[in-house]
Structure formats: structure tokens, C-alpha cells
Structure 1
Amino acid sequence: MTDWLRTIAFRAFFYIVSVPIVLCVPVAALFGRRAVIGYADGWARVHRWAMRAILGIESRVEGNVPRGQFLYAAKHQAMYETLELQLILDSPAMVLKRELLRIPIWGWATTRYGSIVVDRDASSKALRQLMRDGAAAKASGRSVIVYPEGTRVPPGEMPPLRSGFAGLYKALDLPVVPIATDSGRLLPKKGAKHSGVVTFRIGEPIPPGLPRREAEQRVWEAINALEE
């Protein structure tokens, strides 16, 4: 019962606060991309505070966040990591599924933030666009984060990586830092959320230029390191 009360309180607070934040994004956009990135980080900090204060959820990072420019490849079990990793990893450009651009204002805001849009039913044309956008993010000096399974998955599931990861890996020619998480244990897609600690395990960088199968296998193993 307590978990349900906390879950309802969190949803009410976060979505009520998020609506005016999103509506004001066009104002931040007037001051350029850096302002939008800072504004988005502020929203992520509100999310972090609400998670801790209302749901009793916080993060633990295992391993070291490396310095430099990387392609981060992370496990995706909940919305939690999409905001928390923006803070932990210093605002990398995020690869998002195209469907999210349909959300009024928020979808437009993600393009101002510098997010990279991917079509999950990717044609060769869409994959080429993905690689061009990734290259543009690299040229700007930002790291890139991708959730290579393509969508959130329940704890215990370990699907193969989507083809977009291999395209980005080749186009960016950056070391890959894999990240495992167990967020789904506390934050199931359906039902009440539970208090506790979400673990992020930062893997060792995987060098660029490896054969596709080897790179995918090493990333797949590392992002699933917390699966039982």
C-alpha cells in the first residue's frame, strides 16, 4: 500500500511540474543549444530529487565514468536511466526512437537538445541519416548515448542488439562504454514502484574498429552484467 501511495504521489508531482517545464523550452531555445542542454539537466535534477524524496530511490555507480568522448551503450529497463544518465555522463546526445518526436513541444525540444532520431524499422536511408546525425554530434564534441536493445526490456530479458548500434559504432569510430543497470527491479513498467538503490555498472571501454560481431558480443555481455 505504501508503494502505491508513493507511486501516485510521484506521478502527480512529476507530471504536474514537467508540463510547465516543457512548455517553457522554446524560451530556453532562444539562447542556443547550450541553454537547452542546461535546461534539460535542470529537469533531470527535478526528476532525481523527486525519485529520492518521494519514492526513496537513488543511484549507485560502480566503476569509473571515463573522461573524454565516447559512445555509451546502456541497458534500458525504465525511464529512470534516460534522465539519470544524462547527469552521470555529463549530457551526451541521446539516440531516441522517432515515435517520441510526435509528443507536442517535447518532441521539438529533443531536436533542439541535439538528440539523434532513429527509426526502429530502419531502412538503409534511415540508417544513413542516423550515422550522419551521430557524426554531427561527434563533431560538436559531445559523447553519444544509445540504448542498443531499441526499447525498454523487463529484468531478466537479454534481446540482441538492434542494427543501429553497429552503424553508430562504425560511423563514430569512438570507444564504446557499456553500462548495465537493474532499474527495472524497482521501477517496473506496470504496477507500483519500490524504494531502494538502482545500480549502474560502468564497463571498461571497448576500442573502436573491432569486427561487428565481436563489438556487439562484448557490448551485449557488458550491458547484461547485472542480469540474473
Structure 2
Amino acid sequence: MSARSASATPGGLGPWQYLQNVLFYVHAALATLVIGLVGLPWVATRGRRAANAVATRWIGYMLWAARLHLGVTCEVRGMPPRGDCIVAAKHQCFLDILVIAHALPRRAFIMKREVMRVPVMGWYAWKVGCIPIDRSRGRDAVRAIAREIAARHESDDGLGQLIIYPQGTRTRPGEQRDYKHGVGTMRAASQLPVVPVAVNTGLFWPRKGWGIRPGRAVVEFLPAIGPDMPQQAFMPRLQAEIEARSDRLMAEAGFNPQDAARD
């Protein structure tokens, strides 16, 4: 695969790729509606465990549809955590959301509160334990979430694996963005391990979700950073580990940073 063909860009699709992109999104919308509605009565009576089971079925179906229509396959490397922890991941596109969530048994996300209002999907997000963030509140919102994480960890139900994107948004391959300190605040308040995750998914699935190209995307779970690490050293280490490993994964797939500069 050449660096240019690996870099997912909205333009330049052939007619067949264009059609397959359209078919995937139609298929995904219908499957979301059907799976979501069928699961509603079960989740309403059985709570988070049932919501996670339905979410797992839906995510698996989305990944299957991506293979069917788009020729996108996914590989998970490393050891996905099973206990309570914070998962800090590189975020390039919708695909890495699916792959990371599918690898975790009790996943939940910190997400924009607007997403929680989406019909069907938003309701399931609440049920699996996703935490909305009001970005307009700045540090007050981060501190409130940190307290909630600590409380959930101490509860009988536990926290599960809480996924956060330290850069705060999707990034293009080769794009550099500083990591926000919210994950450090949440780690300090909860004393939970943080599991870094590297990805190369943006090479095949662009940020805006159009112009998807076939290929093998990789998501890699790195060794956890324990709560004993000094707080001032945590953020530099987290960023260095995620960025270095993501760069290596993208290089394996033939990515050349000079192509990103030209796009």
C-alpha cells in the first residue's frame, strides 16, 4: 500500500468505492434502529449489563458491515483491560471508537453532552454509564467528572473501563495536538490505572467519515500507567507513549507524514 493510497481523504473515490460508502451508512442506520429498538425492553428491565450486551452486539455488527461494504478489517494488539480503569486513547475517527469499545467488557465514554441526546444511541450511552461533559464549564466540568469517577469506582457496581480522548477531538494522521490535563485530574482523584491506546485508524477512515478506504486498521492497548507515578510526570509520559506508538503503527501501514502536510 502506498502512502498516498493509505491516507484516507474524502475525494478521489472510484464509483464502486463511492457506492460502498453509501451502502455502509444506509446499512448502519437501519441496523442501529433495529438493534436499538429490539433491545429497549430488555435494557429497561435489566439495566447496565443488558445495555452492554446490546452495545456489544451492535458494535460487532458495525465492524462486520465495515468489512462487508468497505473492506476495512481491524486488529487489536496488546491486552485490553478487564477491571476498573481509565482508558486514554488516540482518536482519529469513528472506527477507533468501535474497535476500542468492542475490546472492552464494560466500556463507557466521556463524551459531549450533545451526543447523549441522540435518539436511541444516546439512551444506550446513558445506560452503559457514559458520562456527559459540558465543555463550556471548563475546569469545573472536569472536577465534577473526576468526583463522579471516584464515586463509581467505590460503588458496588464499579466503574468499568472509562474511555477518554486526551486530545479532546479527532485528529488527522500526522496532526499534532497537545493533550489536555483532564485525564490527569481524573486519575489523581480516582487513583485508577490509566491504559494508553495507540491507533492508525485515520489512515483508512477519515475524521468526517466519508471517503473510507479498504485496509487493516490497528488499535493497540499499551501497558497501564499505575497510580504511583508522580502526577507531574504522568501527562508527558502518556502523550509520549501514545504518540510514539501511533506513529509506528501508521508507518507500518505505509504512512508518510509529508503526505499529510500536502493534503
Pairwise same-fold verdict (TM > 0.5): yes
Q: Percent identity?
A: 32
Aligned to 1:201: 220
1:57 equivalent among 61, 72, 75: 72
- Indicate conservation of the 8 Å contact 1:170/1:209, yes or no: no
Give the deviation of 1:15 after TM superposition: 0.9
Q: Is the 8 A contact 1:137 1:144 kept in 2?
A: no
Q: Which residue of the partner structure matches residue 147 of structure 1?
A: 165
**Mapping of 1:1-80 within 5 angstroms?**
1=14, 2-27=16-41, 28-80=43-95
Deviation, 1:67, is: 4.8
TM-superposition CA deviations, 1:8-37 (whole Å, max 9, x none): 111111112212333445422222211111
Runs of at least 5 residues in structure 1 that lack an aligned partner in the other structure: none
* Aligned counterparts of 2:152 and 2:54: Cα–Cα separation in 1: 19
Give the counterpart letter for 1:226 in structure 2.
Answer: S
1:215 corresponds to 2:230: no
What is the TM-score with the length of structure 2 in the denominator? 0.79
TM-score (norm. length: structure 1)? 0.90
| Contact kept in structure 2, 1:72 and 1:146, CA below 8 Å | yes
Q: Which one of the candidate residues 139, 149, 168 is aligned to 1:134?
A: 149
Cα drift, residue 56 of structure 1: 1.2
Q: Contact 1:138–1:144 at 8 Å: present in 2 too?
A: no
Gaps of 5+ in 2: 1-13, 248-256, 258-263
Higher mean alpha-carbon deviation, 7-16 vs 105-114, is at: 105-114
- The question of whether the paired residues in 1 share the 8 Å contact of 2:171 and 2:207 is answered with no
Where does residue 159 of structure 1 map in the other structure? Answer: 177
> CA–CA distance in 1 between the matches of 2:150 and 2:104?
19
Cα offsets for 1:56-82 (capped at 9, x unmatched): 111122333345332111111111121
Q: Which amino acid aligns with 1:11?
A: Y
RMSD across aligned positions (CA):
1.9
Other-structure match for 1:192: 211
Partner Cα distance (1:119, 1:111) in 2: 15
- Quick check: 2:82–2:105 contact (8 Å CA) kept in 1? no
